[in-house]
Every structure is written in C-alpha cells, then in structure tokens.
C-alpha cells in the first residue's frame, strides 16, 4: 500500500534501482513512510532508516510495527555525519536521502563528514541517491 506516500516520494521510490534482497540505508527518514514502502518492495531485504530527530524515530517506529517485527525494517536515531555500521553489521547496497541538509550542500562540513561515513557503510558498488535530479541524482562518495 502506498496511501501514506506523497506523489513526490512515490516518484522517488520508483526511480530507485531497488531489487529483492537488497540492503537499503535511508538517511533522514522522518516518520518512516518511504522506509516502509522500500521495505515492501525489496522482499526479504532489509532497510535501516536513520534520522537525527528522536521525535521522528518515535513516529516511524510507531507506524512500522509489522515491518519491524518481520525483521525487514529497523530504525536508528543518529545524524548522517555520525553514522557508523555496528559491529558485524553488513554494508548496504544503496543509500537514499531526501531533503537532508548535510547532503544537499546546505551544510558543507557536515556533508563532507556524512559522505565519508556513508561511503564506509556501503558495498564497493553502492551508490547514494539524493533528491534534486529528475527525480534523483547520485552523489559522488569518492571525494569524501
């Protein structure tokens, strides 16, 4: 079901190269609508959605009980520039960030730190997608 998604978020999800079984990192998840839809689309994959706001994470968790219980979705309260894989955590196949100031040039120093952290959390071929393209664009992580 996509009833809790705006047309813009649905367009963004449609543009992501999602495949069953992938591990996806969503940065700046807010109340979790996009994370839930991505989890639905990747089947036995896994989504980790992060946000710096404790309030957003509480809202996301409250709206995602079934997905969390099934193990396909998890949330973590952390800023992009502070994110690190937990010991034993498998790297992600792709990352997506929509309206995240650290990644859309609003906060350049935080962006440099965030790109470096994200690069370390992705598989070698992993990509970071942000809004601002048609509807997405990739962010170079090799300069992080």
Would 15 be classed as within a structural domain? yes
Would 17 be classed as within a structural domain? yes
Would 47 be classed as within a structural domain? yes
Would 50 be classed as within a structural domain? yes
Q: List the CATH number of the domain containing 64.
A: 3.40.50.150
Would 16 be classed as within a structural domain? yes
Q: Which helix (H) or strand (E) is 24 found in, with range?
A: strand 23-27
Can you read off the two tokens belonging to residue 117?
């952290």
Range of the domain at 62: 7-139
Would 2 be classed as within a structural domain? no
Residues 32, 35, 37: CA angle, nearest 5 degrees = 110
Would 86 be classed as within a structural domain? yes
Q: How many domains does the chain have?
A: 1
- Global confidence as pTM: 0.94
Long-range contacts of 133-138 (CB under 8 A, 24+ apart): 135/8, 135/11, 135/12, 135/15, 136/12, 136/15, 136/16, 136/96
- Which residue, among 53, 93, 91, has the nearest Cα to 75 in the 3D structure? 53
From first to last of its 144 residues, the chain has per-residue pLDDT tens of: 455 789 999 999 999 999 999 999 999 999 999 999 999 999 999 999 999 999 999 999 999 999 999 999 999 999 999 999 999 999 999 999 999 988 888 888 899 999 999 999 999 999 999 998 889 999 888 655
Would 1 be classed as within a structural domain? no
């Amino acid at each position: 079901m996509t009833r809790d998604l705006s047309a813009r978020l649905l367009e963004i999800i449609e543009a992501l190269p999602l495949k069953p079984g992938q591990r996806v990192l969503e940065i700046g998840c807010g109340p979790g609508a996009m994370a839930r839809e991505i989890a639905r689309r990747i089947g036995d994959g896994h989504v980790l959605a992060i946000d710096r706001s404790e309030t957003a994470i509480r809202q996301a968790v409250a709206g995602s009980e079934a997905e969390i219980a099934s193990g396909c979705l998890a949330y973590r309260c952390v800023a992009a520039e502070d994110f690190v894989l937990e010991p034993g955590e498998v790297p992600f196949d792709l990352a997506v960030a929509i309206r995240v100031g650290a990644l859309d040039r609003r906060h350049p120093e935080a962006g440099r730190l965030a790109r470096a952290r994200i690069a370390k959390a992705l598989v070698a071929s992993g990509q970071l997608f942000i809004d601002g393209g048609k509807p997405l664009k990739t962010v170079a992580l090799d300069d992080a």
